[in-house]
Structure 1
Amino acid sequence: MAESLLFSSAESLLGKLASAALQEASLAFGVHRHLQHMKETMELIRGVLLDAEKKNPQSSALSEWLTQIKRVFSDAEDIVDDFECEALRKDVVNTYGSCSRKVHRFFSSSNPVVYRLRMAHHIQNINIRLAKLATQRSMFDLQVIHQDTRVVHVREMTHSHVNPSNVIGREHDKQEIIKLLLQDDHGQSLSVISIVGMGGLGKTTLSKLVFNDTTIHACFPLRMWVCASNDFELRNVLIKILNSAPNPTGENFNNFETEQLQIRLRNTLHGQKFLLALDDVWNEDPVRWDELKEIIDMGVEGSKILVTTRSQKVTTIMHTKSSNSYLLQCLSKEDSLSLFVKYAFEDGDEIKHPQLLKIGEGIVKKCGGLPLAVKTVGSSLFSRVDEKEWESVRDNEIWNLKQNEKDILPALKLSYDQLPSYLKPCFASFSLYPEDTYIFSSQVCLFWGVLGFLPTPKASESMIDVATQLLHELWSRSFLSDYEDFGGDCRFKLHDLVVDLAEYVAKGEFEIIQNHNPNLYKNAHHLVLMNNNLLDQALLPSSLRTISFPSGANNEDFLNTLVSRCKFLRVLILQYSKYTSLPRCIGMLKHLRFLSLAGNENLTELPDSICKLQNLQNLNLSWCIKLQKLPKGLANLISLHHLFITTIEPACPENEIASLTSLEELGFYQCDNFESLFKEILLATVKKLFLFHCKSLKTVSFHGIKNLEVLAISNCNKLDLSMGFSNQILNSRLKFLLLRGLPSLVTLPRWLQGSANSLQSLIIEQCMNLAELPDWLSTLNCLQRLEVTYCPKVLSLPDNMHHLTNLKEIVVTGSSELWKRYRPEVGQDWHKISHINLVWDDYQSENEKELTVKS
């Protein structure tokens, strides 16, 4: 574990040791005195960890001491979790065992006397190791700091899209780029404009400003935005471009061969003058560029490619006869200070604190004119008025950091160091996520929860509330970009330099493994394997917490070894593998909280032993299209919060699902034989429901789902959307509604009016027979986002849209008539919606828009 993550680990573990549930379990097993001793020794060690973190240890002796602490803390956490597992097992037996000997046998445990002796031995061993480490702490001259006093001062959430008023010092650059895009190409059919500059300079922000400018809209009928990043393999780039172009049928291009993709793309581009933005290009192989250019150069004069890159070599290999390269400069001293003030102070507060502003000038100077550095450091000082704090930032030795460690910006590292300890493991987990692509808060929150990264919720708070707050705090520090709240879910992106920093601080704890090198991950807790060859070579640490298999995995011996060796696994991601079944001993992974088998098209059966996993919080079986039946005993998964199902069973096991009293999220994907759902059951805890591609589904009763906040229905052609309510208006809590690919939808169901005081996002896609949006739409007074995508019969919006005072965005895609009518400044009905912050006609990829479970 990186040194900066140890204090958080100690805090979490001490919290568990002090919990009432563990106190009760330890008394029952006669180990209470031993656990108390463990707790006391841990507190001694915890006291010096913050100082060890501040020293950023360089000595091998201190580093080795901290490595030993990591190991013993990890083993201690496993023991604590073991007691929790035993308590859950007893809950299941007490609930179901009294009426079923079969259940009692299914969940039988080893002899309790043997278990008590074994656990006492483990605890004694840990106490000996802890005592030795505690005595060694004096060797390193570490000060005792019992409490992390760092806090995040959270600013109000603002709109996430690039707003020109939030960008400082780039207006001249914007106009110069637009000039280059609009200039006469003297008969050239395709030219490239490159924006070149170092990381953190704002190339992507500038290109977005240009891309969304109304002048560019008018000049280029077809505009496409692609984040190229490190992947410039032809097939993948073609998929990205097609996903960003108009796609009225909602076709999934992921299974297309390269030849099919290039034919489809050329048909899309035929006769169109287009602008293709390729953001963050790293490819320096001219052959790959020539392959792409040959496909997209359709001979239409004036088509342009707008490239952002850090590499001059990229601009050279992409050069055409009329290409231009624009070297983006750092911000001026004045613009840098203006940007800093915007992020470090409440509006106008800088006048009240002239001395802070003076110190800020010194900080800005050290940021070197890089907007990302200025924003991040400014955000870390937001609402802080202690001059000593500001001076410590200005004078910190980290500004002298040599940038040879993947170009880690000193400003970012400094901002990370100032994070409270509870945020650091959350930030480190970003090392496992791709840069500059949308990440959904539901995914991140679930991951943090199952790994124990989240603080204990306060009264009336849920775990998702806590996780969302942590994301908001990271956004306040400018570590997240493009943050949007849809109601029920949020999405954001990570700048590539932020991902680099996450990889740097997480080294040795979170690792993405490309090649066989056990030294990289011998102490790691969280592994993502990128190559199937690794399944023959990887030496798995027995203390592993997380493992993600590569797509196409089918090595049964490796999977069996994993299950038998890594007994403390919390997260197992086996998506898009080629396994036909799982090891029957998977039920032995009693610590497992997260199991994803999504997209396993060869999986035909699951062992019933999966239902022994009482700690399991997430079970994802979506798009397992050959799964014959669900495992027996689902009701025993008493900790399950998230369940996603694909099966060819004739009916849903509703009674078992209704027994899952912790279930919050439920999804059915291509359950082709289900005709009805939820006839006579109560799902009081379910807040999110997804119904995707269930072609036989006719009726869904919502009478028993009282607390639904997110509903997504896609391509369920036979479904009666009245939901059994006819013209009734429900009193509901719905925050997000997606209706996609529903040919029977002619007008919106009236029951939706019952969400007038809650609905924030309404997304309607590919509903070809939707004829109108009803006048009562204006009663949805909490609505913030409205999307109408490829609904050709919708020709206008209700006249009273001005009543929707909270509406921030209308997204219109695939309806030229609707776009023309409400186009900013020039549309005949623009004045009716001019109060709305942003109206756009953008082609976003399906993966970026979909607020559903990632499969």
Structure 2
Amino acid sequence: MADSLFCIADSLVAKLASHAFTEASRIVGVYNDLEDINHTLSIVKALLLDAERRCRVDEAVREWLRQLQWIFNDAQDLMDEIDYAAKQKQVTKLHGSCSVITKVGRFLSSRSNPLFFRFKMAERIKQVKGMLDKVAADRDRFGLRMVLDDNRVVHTRETTHSHVNASDVIGRESDRERILELLMENGCKSVLSIVGFAGVGKTTLAKLVFNDVRIADFFTLKIWVCASDCYCYNHDYGESFNIKHVISKIIDSLNCSTSGGFANALGKVDMEVLKNQLKDKLGNKKFILILDDVSLIDRIQWAELRDLIWLGAAEGSKILVTTQSLKVASIMGSISPHHVLDCLSEQDSLSLFVKWAFKEEAERRYPDLMEIAKDITKKCHGNPLALVTLASSLFGNFDKDKWTHLRDSEIWKGKGRLSSSAVDISYDQLPSYLKQCFALFSLYPISYVFDSFHVAELWSALGLLPLENNNQILKHGLNQYLNELHSRSFLEDFVDYGTGFTFKLHGLVHDYAKSVARTYSQIITSPYPGSGHHRNIRNASFVGNDVTTISPTARTILFPIAGVGANTIDFLNALASRCKYLRFLDLSDSTYETLPQSIGNLKHLRYLSLENNKSFKKLPDSICRLYNLEVLILSGCTELEAFPKGLGNLISLRHLEITTKLHVLPEDEIARLSSLLNLRIESCKNLKCLFAKTRLPSLRVLVVSGCSTLSSLPLDTEHFPLLDTLVVDNCDKLELSEGHSDRNSNLRLKVLHFVSLPNLVSLPQWLQGSMKTLQYLLVSSCTNVVVLPEWLPTMDCIKTLYITNCPNLLSLPNDMHRFATIECFVIDGYPELFRNSQLHVGECSHQQTTIDETAEIEEVG
């Protein structure tokens, strides 16, 4: 909890200091009132670093943290209301004046009177400041001290060693053989990485390799270094790799020192002495060095360490690294691809569990226990550390009730032995900002396929992303946290589809997310009582539509199961009237015809989705008062017949998705959406033309999909001056080349998808304007494409090129081999056509080519 509160405190301090919020507080007249809060917040933030250490063993500190959580919530809501009031004034100033009667009415109204609002906000600021002062003063009562960043505890695992009993290892034979093959096939000095999640067996595999007799025959020297205790923390650089410590441990290993001679005298030994000692000990011999559990290293540190190691190395020497981080493996320049260690199969999992739970062959006498063992191993999801930990706890115990109790116990739901042994190591090493984000995965069912857009918007709505990224498009800003989680092996089945990512969570990781978030985020599987243990839930996910009321503390409401949405009016009215601090509302697959007027009171709302609501007909005008709304999703609302008056007042809206039965969109209102970055127009069956006289100056991403009657779409910088991602999909009558002049060459696209466009014969000439910017091109299911233009290979930046299901494509450009930057080229169904193209992508080690007669590329947008 302290980790997440530290992150919240950090974001509050950052927001108070931001230029945008400073201006907002000046506009509503409370700037001076907020000055004292910043100082107190900084004190509390420093106390949280000590509370992080104490809360695990001290219930009083945990209670102090729970009080602080509510105070921080109040502070966040207070800042939101100040933001909202400033935006309300901005809308009034930009989008029209009021009559004298209206202005007088507003002044007399306690709700909109600026003087009354300023007085009310000043009182609330005073209350929050008083509560913060109180918890800060309580530090003496709890013995908390202010801790600076450079004294933070660095979480590490226990030091590892090289010994292993090979008979205890199950299911790693093929992995061992592959690693040995890679280590011994190449005659040059190189690095190989074993990458995988905590507890999956990376260290064990490295030990198997290290102790294999073939290694002893092939290498003159063998060196084992546990890297996890070679880190230090300082104020300027944070956690960093201590190169001097690593070199010292290598020398001690070569000296067969058990007392840590050089490692224990780091402050007394000069680096030059260490360098000479290392070079002398290695003696230009061929060696293998295991660097076990490298969690963090930057390129400069690695370059320095690598050069020192190679200084005394003979050709053929190898470094074998184990790490949870793909980023670390990439930095250390390991042989590509890295060896990614998967979880054990169900059969191997059961064999390992049985080995540690029973004496040799004793399992044959306990068939009932074996059935329970099968259930337990399935819940371990193939993680060897979890399997061994749980099996060992049952060793010598043949009481069926105890085995059943373990199978059905709370450790599968809470932070018990399973999660502590298998995932705590990785979770503790996460930065605090990532811990908050990670916990929200608990709102989705196991095996859920996540889309980066949806996840990033949830994080953004709850204020968990850096302020500076809020105005960047998804591909270039909002997904940076996902990349970091992926690099640490928290995510699997990670697929890049050009405009975003899809991924899954390992079952063990999903269980852990539920355990760390259980006090404030839950999946609701039964009618929500709005009281009892649910009353303080801030993030609620419903896996059924049997819902009644909801807690007023809710910040998030969503329905993650496809086809399952809310269907009761009482629930809709309750959340619109009671949940005044709601920030993320996903009503996908619901059955409502409209929303209540009270929806306009949700002034904190950032995200609203009515996706695939087949009954929805209109939005109330009150929705245009949601000045903080950033995402509005109406795709799949096939019966939508009216847009609200004043849609352009949504000045924070940056993502809009539309499906409607209208013949014409409210283009003038859309053009007033000054923050709009992403626009998706989907399944609008009656639209014939779009944006002929409308300019969208801030738009970066445009998706037009399933508009079967659309015939006109201007694609030029006059209409879309900043457009860099374009997806056109399943538009039968659209002619992309007709009527376009050279002015279209000003477009600077980076991502382009053409899918199911029967009028497309070749790529349009205006695409040449993106010669120096286009990186990702997909042409799929365009049945009348006959030829690709000869200028295509001259595109300077293309990294990914997909050509799929274009049966009439007769030839590729002659100079396809000229692609200098291509990393992935996929063409399905035409091996002869590919061979004739003379594209030899495989000549460069970083490039990949696929020719697949049956391949199916996901159509996205």
TM-score by length of 2: 0.68
Separation in 1 of the partners of 2:28 and 2:175?
69
- The equivalent of 1:801 in structure 2 is 816
Decide which of 370, 376, 382 is 2:324's aligned counterpart.
376
- Which letter maps to 1:51? D
Residue 544 of structure 1 aligns to which amino acid in structure 2? A
**Matched letter for residue 460 of structure 2:** G
Q: Pick closer, same or farther for the CA change 1:560–1:339 going to 2, 3 Å.
A: farther
2:598 maps to 1:596: no
Could you give the per-residue CA deviations for residues 609-647 of structure 1, whole angstroms, max 9, x where no partner exists? Answer: 111111111111111000112111111111110111111
Q: Distance in 1 between matches of 2:536 and 2:88?
A: 30
1:136 paired to 2:10: no
User: Among residues 441, 457, 463, which one is paired with 2:468 in the alignment?
Assistant: 457
1:346-361 equivalent positions in 2, closer than 5 A: 353-355=246-248
Aligned equivalent of 2:551: 541
Label 1:512 to 1:34 Cα distance change in 2 as closer, same or farther (>3 A). Answer: same
Distance 1:828 1:542 in 2: 65
Q: 1:753·1:779 contact (CA, 8 Å) conserved in 2? A: no
Task: Determine the structure 2 residue equivalent to 1:111.
Answer: 113
In structure 2, do the counterparts of structure 1 residues 410 and 631 end up closer, same or farther at CA, with 3 Å as the change threshold? same
Which of 707, 715, 720 aligns to 1:705? It is 720
Q: How far, CA to CA, are the matches of 1:667 and 1:652 in structure 2?
A: 12
- What is the alpha-carbon distance in structure 2 between the residues aligned to residue 713 and residue 497 of structure 1? 39
Deviations 1:591-621 (A, max 9, x none): 1111111110000111111111111111111
Distance 1:84 1:199, change over 3 A: closer
Query: Residues 459 and 560 (structure 1 numbering): CA distance in 2 closer, same or farther, change over 3 Å?
Result: closer
Are residues 1:125 and 2:127 paired?
Answer: yes
Contact 1:432 1:510 in 2 (8 A): yes
* CA spacing shift, 1:850–1:200, aligned 2, 3 Å: farther
Q: Which amino acid aligns with 1:144?
A: M
d(CA) in 2 for partners of 1:339, 1:605: 70
CA contact (8 A) 2:2 2:51 kept: yes
User: CA 1:144/1:402 → structure 2, altered by over 3 Å: closer, same or farther?
Assistant: farther
1 or 2 for the larger relative contact order (CA 8 Å, sep ≥6)?
1
Is the Cα contact below 8 Å between 1:616 and 1:637 reproduced in 2?
A: yes
Corresponding residue number in structure 2 for 1:790: 805
Structure 1 distance, partners of 2:223, 2:749, is 38
User: Residues 376 and 131 (structure 1 numbering): CA distance in 2 closer, same or farther, change over 3 Å?
Assistant: same
* 1:774, distance to aligned residue in structure 2 (A): 2.5
Q: Could you say what secondary structure the match of 1:511 adopts?
A: strand
Matched residues in 2 for 1:766 and 1:138: separation?
Answer: 69
Secondary structure in 2 matching 1:712 = strand
Provide the residue aligned with 2:83 in structure 1: 84
My pick for the range that moved more, 449-458 or 18-27, is 18-27
- 2:136 is aligned with what amino acid? A
Cα deviation digits, residues 186-245 of structure 1 (max 9, x gap): xxxxxxxxxxxx997879xxxxxxxxxxxxxxxxxxxxxxxxxxxxxxxxxxxxxxxxxx
Q: Which amino acid aligns with 1:10?
A: A
Task: Give the whole-Å Cα distance in 2 for the aligned partners of 1:103 and 1:794.
Answer: 65
How do 1:357-756 residues align onto structure 2 when only pairs under 5 Å count?
A: 374-376=322-324, 404=411, 405=415, 407-408=418-419, 410=421, 412-433=423-444, 439-457=450-468, 465-481=476-492, 483=494, 487-515=498-526, 521-533=534-546, 535-536=547-548, 538=549, 540-549=550-559, 551-703=564-716, 704-722=719-737, 724-725=739-740, 730-756=745-771
700-709 or 720-729, larger mean C-alpha shift: 720-729
Mapping of 1:147-166 within 5 angstroms? 147=149
Specify every segment of 5 or more residues in structure 1 that has no aligned partner in the other structure, as ranges: 153-166, 176-197, 204-327, 367-372, 385-397
Partner in structure 1 of residue 362 of structure 2:
none
Name the aligned partner's letter for residue 508 of structure 1: T
Deviation at 1:130, TM superposition (A): 2.3
Q: Deviations over 1:440-490 (max 9, x none)?
A: 433333332222112232899778644343333333333344556555534
CA distance in 1, matches of 2:77, 2:205: 50
Residue 768 of structure 1: SS of its match in structure 2?
coil
1:834 aligns with 2:842: yes
- Pick which of 471-480 and 6-15 moved more: 471-480
Match of 2:10 in 1: 11
SS at match of 1:512: strand
The 2-side partners of 1:648 and 1:572 are apart by 24
Q: What is the alpha-carbon distance in structure 2 between the residues aligned to residue 838 and residue 777 of structure 1?
A: 17
Task: Measure how far apart 1:697 and its partner are.
Answer: 0.7
Distance in 2, matches of 1:614 and 1:458, equals 19
1:127 is displaced (CA, Å) by: 2.9
Secondary structure at 2:540's aligned position in 1? strand
Asked whether the equivalents of residues 793 and 818 of structure 2 are also in contact (C-alpha less than 8 Å), the reply is: yes
1:253-272 to structure 2, matched below 5 A, reads: none
What percentage of residue pairs aligned between the two structures are identical? 37
| Change beyond 3 A, Cα 1:727–1:86 | closer
Encode CA deviations 1:120-162: one digit per residue, 9 max, x unaligned: 333333233323322222233333124478899xxxxxxxxxx
Distance 2:676 2:744 in 1: 26
In the alignment, residue 129 of structure 1 is paired with which amino acid? M
Going from structure 1 to structure 2, the CA distance change for 1:44 and 1:798 (only over 3 Å counts) comes to same
* Contact 2:610-2:633 within 8 A present in 1 as well: yes
| CA-to-aligned-CA distance 1:68-108 (integer Å, 9 cap, x gap) | 11011101111111111000001111112326789978998
1:246 is matched with none
User: In the alignment, residue 658 of structure 1 is paired with which amino acid?
Assistant: A
Report the number of matched residues. Answer: 658
CA distance in 2, matches of 1:609, 1:378: 48
- How far apart, in 2, do the equivalents of 1:516 and 1:57 lie? 33
Q: CA deviation at 1:700?
A: 0.6
Where does the alignment leave 5 or more consecutive residues of structure 2 unmatched? 155-170, 180-195, 212-221, 231-241, 254-262, 264-288, 296-320, 333-384, 391-410
Which segment is superposed worse, 787-796 or 95-104? 95-104
Whether the aligned pair in 2 keeps the contact of 1:691 and 1:712 (CA below 8 Å) is yes
Q: CA deviation at 1:63?
A: 1.5
Q: Out of 462-471 and 777-786, give the one that drifted further.
A: 462-471
Describe the SS at the equivalent of 1:126.
Answer: helix
3-state SS of 1:97 partner: coil
Which shows bigger deviation, 581-590 or 404-413? 404-413
Aligned partners of 2:804 and 2:856 also within 8 Å = no
The secondary structure found in structure 1 opposite 2:514 is helix
Give, in angstroms, the shift of residue 514 of structure 1. 2.3
- Matched with 1:333 is 207
User: Does structure 1 retain, via aligned residues, the 8 Å contact 2:635–2:657?
Assistant: yes
How far, CA to CA, are the matches of 1:501 and 1:473 in structure 2?
A: 18
Deviation at 1:417, TM superposition (A): 2.1
Distance 2:639 2:699 in 1: 27
Tell me, yes or no, if the aligned pair for 1:435 and 1:494 is still in contact at 8 Å.
Answer: yes
1:645-696 CA distance string (max 9 Å, x none) = 1111221211111111111001111112211111122212101001111111
Provide the C-alpha distance between the structure 1 equivalents of 2:836 and 2:226, rounded to a whole number of angstroms.
37
Contact 1:701-1:723 within 8 A present in 2 as well: no
| 1:772 matched to 2:787 | yes
Describe the shift of the 1:667–1:340 C-alpha distance in structure 2 as closer, same or farther (beyond 3 A): farther
Partner of 1:53: 52
